[in-house]
């Protein structure tokens, strides 16, 4: 039986998320006065052209999210101990220019100016380990809702504590899982829904070289499942009803997978997958395969969703598609310092912020369709914590 679910196990009407067309830009929208907009505090901004929070702030400030206005940026490190570093100086230059646009720059959540009656989305994009504390601080400060970058916290235990705290204060938390709204995923879900008995394969390729893996393993020490495959695990939890409790079996693809122990730049050793492939069968009889590879692309990374039936491929969607490759190549040429994934995923980030800020403005309950909640984040991280040793053990036996 096909078990396509929305979060909270509500049946999902699968469709391409609204406003995903690359041509959708704020310039074509009617102007809103700032009091009509959802105020956004970007907490953990990071450096211009490198930090995820910075890119979120840029999109809102430049009018790509007409519902929203950045009223405050909280940057504890680059407005604090890291201010004198070269990235700190780049941050200060950007901050100076943005102050003219009415954005307050604060070195702590406590310093954020709060306007009476304003609906506020606190967008937390700090380092994963700092996020549990930042979530508590923004809720204490009085935000209406939280947008939390994935995976949200280093461990399931911390995410569960965050969920309990947010829920005790009645503050919804939306997760920045962009694959939940991206067109290639939504199109394949739509196709799978039409074909009972079909299986779906998610392929996710990064573009690291073998030589870059030691640094990659150290920087992403939480491991491939928690750091890279977590996007697909969130899809499984959101749309396929996969949790640790609904898994019937996990079949590792020993030929595809590779687990390595490498010495990072610090001299410490790290054991992780450079690639991991496995098929999950659920108790409801659904099968989904994940093929996740750090070095699977030589052109900036790509992701594919394949629907198969009776052993044959019946549908495939991929990002970037030809049109996006050209857009990204032109944008990267024009601005080589910008993280390339910002160009690749720009539309997804815009959709996530449009959906969440309009939800906040309308005072709706629950979460916008497809947006991952903390429940999904917990299920996804539980899957990662369960699958990592399961796969490592299975692959060790297979050798």
Ligand X SMILES: NC(=O)c1ccc[n+]([C@@H]2O[C@H](COP(=O)([O-])OP(=O)(O)OC[C@H]3O[C@@H](n4cnc5c(N)ncnc54)[C@H](O)[C@@H]3O)[C@@H](O)[C@H]2O)c1
Nearest approach in angstroms of CB 126 to ligand X is 5
Binding flag, residue 150, ligand X (CB under 6 A): yes
Of positions 303, 345, 346, 358, contacts ligand X by CB under 6 A: 345
**Closest CA relative to residue 45, chosen from 68, 64, 72:** 72
Phi and psi at residue 245, to the nearest 5°: -80, -20
**Which stretch in 47-55, 134-142, 165-173, 253-261 sits in contact with ligand X by CB under 6 A?**
47-55
**Closest CA relative to residue 144, chosen from 179, 108, 169:** 169
Of positions 4, 38, 40, 45, contacts ligand X by CB under 6 A: 45
**Which stretch in 70-78, 94-102, 252-260, 385-393 sits in contact with ligand X by CB under 6 A?**
70-78
Phi and psi at residue 38, to the nearest 5°: -80, 125
Q: With H, G, I as helix, E, B as strand and everything else as coil, classify residue 193.
A: helix
Q: DSSP letter for 248, please.
A: E
Binding flag, residue 132, ligand X (CB under 6 A): no
Sorted by sequence, the CB contacts under 8 Å of residue 141 that are 6+ apart come out as: 109, 110, 112, 114, 122
Nearer to ligand X, 78 or 270 (CB): 78
Binding flag, residue 353, ligand X (CB under 6 A): no
Report helix angle 52-61 to 86-99, nearest 10: 20
Is there a contact between 216 and 366 (Cβ–Cβ < 8 Å)? no
The helix, strand and coil proportions of the chain, stated in percent and rounded to the nearest 5, come to: 40, 20, 35
Binding flag, residue 125, ligand X (CB under 6 A): yes
Of positions 22, 99, 127, 194, contacts ligand X by CB under 6 A: 127
Binding flag, residue 257, ligand X (CB under 6 A): no
Which x/- pattern over 286-325 shows residues binding ligand X (rule: CB under 6 A)? Answer: ----------------------------------------
Of positions 38, 41, 65, 75, contacts ligand X by CB under 6 A: 75
Nearest approach in angstroms of CB 45 to ligand X is 5
Distance CA 310, CA 225 (A): 29
Size of the site for ligand X (CB under 6 A): 20
Of positions 71, 128, 238, 319, contacts ligand X by CB under 6 A: 128
Is there a contact between 13 and 198 (Cβ–Cβ < 8 Å)? no
How many residues are present in the chain?
A: 399
Binding flag, residue 172, ligand X (CB under 6 A): no
Binding flag, residue 126, ligand X (CB under 6 A): yes
Binding flag, residue 149, ligand X (CB under 6 A): yes
Nearest approach in angstroms of CB 294 to ligand X is 15
Nearer to ligand X, 66 or 132 (CB): 132
Nearer to ligand X, 175 or 395 (CB): 175
The half-sphere exposure of 71 on its side-chain side, counting CA atoms within 13 A, is 21
Distance CA 381, CA 176 (A): 14
Binding flag, residue 347, ligand X (CB under 6 A): no
Of positions 48, 53, 320, 370, contacts ligand X by CB under 6 A: 53
Pairing of strands 302-309, 38-43: unpaired
Distance CA 119, CA 361 (A): 7
Binding site for ligand X (CB under 6 A): 44-46, 50-53, 75-77, 82, 125-128, 149-150, 176, 178, 345
């Amino acid at each position: 039986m096909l078990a396509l679910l929305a979060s909270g196990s509500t049946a999902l009407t699968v469709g391409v998320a609204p406003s995903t067309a690359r041509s959708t830009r704020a310039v074509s929208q009617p102007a809103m006065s700032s009091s009509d907009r959802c105020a956004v505090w970007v907490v953990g901004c990071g450096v211009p052209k490198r930090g995820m929070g910075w890119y979120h702030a840029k999109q809102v400030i430049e009018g790509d999210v007409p519902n929203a206005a950045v009223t405050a940026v909280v940057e504890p490190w680059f407005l604090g101990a890291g201010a004198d570093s070269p990235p700190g100086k780049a941050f200060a230059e950007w901050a100076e220019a943005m102050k003219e646009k009415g954005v307050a720059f604060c070195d702590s959540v406590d310093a954020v100016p709060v306007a009476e009656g304003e609906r506020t989305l606190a967008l937390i994009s700090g380092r994963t380990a700092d996020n549990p504390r930042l979530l508590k601080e923004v809720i204490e400060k009085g935000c209406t809702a939280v947008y939390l970058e994935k995976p949200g916290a280093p461990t399931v235990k911390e995410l569960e504590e965050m969920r309990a705290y947010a829920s005790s204060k009645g503050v919804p938390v939306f997760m920045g899982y962009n694959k939940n709204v991206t067109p290639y995923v939504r199109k394949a879900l739509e196709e799978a829904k039409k074909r009972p008995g079909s299986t779906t394969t998610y392929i996710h390729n990064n573009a690291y070289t073998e030589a870059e893996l030691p640094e990659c393993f150290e920087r992403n020490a939480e491991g491939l499942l928690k750091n890279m495959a977590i996007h697909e695990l969130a899809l499984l939890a959101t749309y396929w009803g996969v949790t640790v409790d609904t898994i019937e079996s996990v079949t590792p693809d020993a030929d595809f997978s590779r687990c390595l122990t490498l010495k990072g730049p610090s001299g410490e050793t790290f054991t992780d997958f450079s690639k991991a492939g496995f098929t999950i069968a659920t108790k409801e009889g659904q099968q989904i395969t994940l093929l996740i590879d750090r070095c699977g692309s030589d052109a900036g990374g790509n992701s594919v969703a394949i629907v198969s039936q009776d052993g044959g491929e019946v549908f495939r969607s991929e990002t970037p598609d030809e049109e996006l490759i050209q857009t990204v190549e032109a944008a990267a040429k024009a601005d080589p310092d910008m993280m390339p994934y910002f160009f690749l995923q720009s539309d997804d980030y815009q959709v996530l912020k449009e959906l969440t800020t309009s939800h906040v403005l309308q005072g709706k309950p629950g979460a916008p369709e497809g947006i991952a909640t903390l429940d999904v984040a917990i299920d996804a991280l539980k899957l990662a914590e369960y699958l990592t040793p399961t796969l490592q053990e299975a692959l060790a036996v297979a050798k």
